[in-house]
Structure 1
């Protein structure tokens, strides 16, 4: 199952970029044997300042045709890492070829795109900067692959 991160904004060099690259590389290595990955990052930018509606259009265009969409949104359910790994394996086992995680910009995801999502997910009741959400998602993808592989990375 190919994984896509469809995100608003371009991540420059720096600690966030290094962390994302590291976790996604780990996920790609470990996930391959589990039929998970590779991960492709699709960055979109609203250069004309159209707001959430314009970002939603750009994000929608970046989602591969037929992909299952999981929107990262503060209104989504809060789940544990083992539950997240179960969801990933469930989507994979159900025959999902492409899974797209959508992360909006500073104002979140436009309701029209959020309503099109097959699933939503929240990283807690607090609101996180969208660039940090990328890091958190990359780490959780790696953690999920580790859980499914029986690796000691995840400890309860």
Structure 2
């Protein structure tokens, strides 16, 4: 009989699953086009983070595109894209820096207020440039670029579930 994973790891994995479900439902909702950015913050609480990754989001649905992938914004990332993102995150933030007691990972979305719901709440987060790493990637096959209107229309919102660093 296989040994069960340590309770700390189970707690971390449960947090990851909850955050993933919230993000999946948001990106599949009718408000997905309002999302402009995702931020992943690591620290003891959502207002005192040590590191932050900001990932610009551009959901393409250009109907006049001749590119066969354009217009299917919810398609899965390819394995190459997933590896590229993981590599960028790993290089920007080595894992040994995250291994402190009390570290948590919080996810923020920048978009319209319509995203606020049971698992997403408004936030007055402020990102310091010295603690932020910008992670950008292009989804294969998508050639459209989004133009953004006035910045004051969009708000930062926090995904309520968060991830706790589990002890191994």
Tell me the TM-score range normalised by the shorter chain: under 0.3
Q: Which has the higher helix share?
A: 1
Which of these two proteins has the greater Rg computed from alpha carbons? 2
TM-score, length-scaled by structure 2 = 0.26
